[in-house]
């Protein structure tokens, strides 16, 4: 008597044959990737923290994966232009985003975005947490602590200015919270990234910034910038003598800048899993950790699920801060 496979078995065989014909079995996806150079999109100009971290990660990924990892700077619109580019890229694991906390803020700051950060991008792993630090030009601003700076700011005419790396970024939002907490009025000067901001801060075109520590640390060590406080709840290991804003008298301040890698949402799961494993291995390596700590960054690898939860939690957190600070961009 002739027997036939069950309907379920026939369906499974059909799916396997179809996948084999396309060369896209789950195992094959991970083994065949990457098949060409990888573009790691940085949504800021070169020279800032996002760029520094991306290049450090890209160097190691290139060695581990056997394909070049090319850092591609796509600055503009508070980091949203680069995110939009990656969200709409082919989801094959060859175009990635070096994302940051700015993207969770942009979700609430911009009335309309051409993408959804939570729906159109797949979290892979966080890379590092970097404290933001209030710095002033050592030669131009005599304030040596927060109280002195606030006193000067309240008396200044015209207003003192603070630079940020773009409208709707963490630095912009920290500035609005700082003014609300101190009663000082400051002129916000947005830049396309930390690189041009730092150049103007060193030149005296802006009074202060709340930039990430990685960007300003060399200038603080050189004595050109003076660090008055960090914005996170804990002091930085790179600047242990610099107080937090909370310690300086501003209660409730705890904003740092995380950085992490994301891919287009439809990227195959096996590729995301392998990419996560490679990044976590790199971030946990002693050489990489030493390099990050020396730059003022705290290494912070994660699972895909933990990264997704961070994005969800901080999107909700910053929605409240954006509303309270009345920060809105058309």
Same domain? 140 vs 118 = no
Is residue 50 within 8 Å of 44, Cβ to Cβ? yes
| Structural domain contains residue 5 | no
Same domain? 35 vs 104 = yes
Same domain? 266 vs 288 = yes
Helix, strand, coil shares of the chain as percentages rounded to 5? 45, 20, 35
| Structural domain contains residue 19 | no
pLDDT tens-digit profile of 135-157?
A: 999 999 999 999 999 999 999 98
Which alpha helices (H) appear in 90-212, and where do they start and end? 101-109, 117-120, 146-155, 170-182, 194-203
- pLDDT for res 9: 47
Same domain? 87 vs 223 = no
Last residue of a domain, one of 211, 230, 249: 230
Element (H, E) at 191: none
Same domain? 79 vs 150 = no
**CATH, residue 291:** 3.40.190.150
| SS3 assignment for 215-272 | HHHHHHHCCCEEEEEECCCCCCCCCCCCCECCCCCCCCCCCEEEEEEEEECCCCHHHH
Is residue 178 within 8 Å of 210, Cβ to Cβ? yes
- pLDDT for res 208: 97
Same domain? 125 vs 148 = no
Cis preceding-peptide flag for 158 (omega within 30 of 0): yes
d(CA 70, CA 60): 12
CB atoms within 10 A of CB 311: 23
| Structural domain contains residue 247 | no
**CATH, residue 180:** 3.40.190.10
Same domain? 263 vs 171 = no
Is residue 128 within 8 Å of 258, Cβ to Cβ? yes
| Structural domain contains residue 279 | yes
Residue 259: phi and psi, rounded to 5, are -130, 145
Last residue of a domain, one of 195, 213, 230: 230
Residues 36-62 have a mean pLDDT of 94
Same domain? 140 vs 67 = no
- pLDDT for res 246: 94
d(CA 151, CA 148): 5
Pairing of strands 38-42, 225-230: unpaired
Average pLDDT, the chain: 89
Same domain? 51 vs 100 = yes
How many structural domains does the chain have?
2
Question: Of 36, 22, 26, whose CA–CA distance to 267 is shortest?
Answer: 26
Is residue 108 within 8 Å of 315, Cβ to Cβ? yes
pLDDT tens-digit profile of 273-324?
A: 999 999 999 999 999 999 898 888 999 999 999 999 999 999 998 898 888 8
d(CA 244, CA 250): 9
Last residue of a domain, one of 230, 245, 269: 230
Question: Of 306, 307, 298, 215, whose CA–CA distance to 260 is shortest?
Answer: 307
d(CA 270, CA 33): 9
Residues 215-242 have a mean pLDDT of 95
Q: What is the dihedral of CA 156, 158, 161, 167, to 10 degrees?
A: 140
| Structural domain contains residue 189 | yes
d(CA 68, CA 61): 8
> Is residue 259 over pLDDT 60?
yes
| Structural domain contains residue 226 | yes
Element (H, E) at 206: none
Give residue 133's pLDDT band: very low, low, confident or very high (50, 70, 90). very high
Q: Is 115 left (phi over 0), alpha (psi -120 to 50) or beta?
A: beta
Give how far Cα 143 sits from Cα of 103, 217, 220, 246, Å.
Answer: 32, 18, 15, 18
Element (H, E) at 125: strand 121-131
| Structural domain contains residue 20 | no
Same domain? 204 vs 270 = no
| Alpha carbon of residue 87 to chain centroid | 16
Same domain? 54 vs 198 = no
- pLDDT for res 213: 94
> Is residue 12 over pLDDT 80?
no
Same domain? 210 vs 126 = no
| Structural domain contains residue 318 | yes
Residue 197: domain span: 133-230
pLDDT tens-digit profile of 181-194?
A: 999 999 999 998 88
């Amino acid at each position: 008597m002739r027997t036939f496979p069950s309907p379920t078995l026939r369906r499974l065989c059909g799916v396997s044959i179809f996948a084999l014909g396309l060369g896209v079995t789950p195992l094959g996806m991970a083994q065949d990737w990457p098949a060409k150079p990888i573009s790691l999109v940085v949504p800021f100009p070169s020279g800032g923290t996002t760029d520094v971290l991306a290049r450090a990660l890209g160097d190691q990924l290139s060695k581990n994966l056997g394909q070049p990892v090319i850092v591609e700077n796509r600055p503009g619109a508070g980091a949203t232009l680069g995110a939009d580019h990656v969200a709409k890229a082919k989801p094959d694991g060859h175009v990635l985003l070096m994302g940051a906390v700015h993207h969770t803020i942009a979700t609430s700051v911009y009335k309309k975005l051409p993408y959804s950060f939570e729906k159109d991008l797949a979290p892979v792993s966080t890379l590092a947490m970097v404290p933001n630090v209030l710095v002033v030009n050592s030669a131009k601003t005599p304030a040596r602590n927060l109280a002195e700076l606030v006193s000067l700011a309240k008396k200044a005419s015209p207003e003192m200015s603070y630079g940020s790396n773009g409208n709707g970024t963490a630095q912009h939002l920290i500035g609005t919270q700082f003014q609300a907490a101190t009663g000082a009025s400051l002129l916000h000067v947005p830049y396309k990234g930390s690189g041009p901001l730092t150049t103007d801060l060193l030149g005296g075109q802006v009074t202060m910034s709340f930039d990430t520590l990685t960007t300003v640390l060399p200038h603080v060590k050189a004595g050109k910038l003076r660090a008055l406080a960090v914005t996170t709840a804990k002091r930085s290991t790179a600047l242990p003598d610099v107080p937090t804003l909370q310690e300086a008298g501003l209660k409730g301040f705890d904003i740092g800048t995380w950085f992490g890698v994301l891919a287009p949402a439809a990227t195959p799961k096996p590729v995301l899993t392998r990419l996560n494993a490679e990044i976590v291995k790199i971030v946990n390596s002693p050489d990489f950790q030493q390099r990050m700590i020396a730059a003022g960054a705290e290494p912070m690898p994660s699972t895909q699920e933990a990264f997704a939860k961070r994005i969800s939690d901080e999107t909700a957190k910053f929605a409240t801060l954006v509303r309270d600070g009345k920060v809105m961009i058309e």
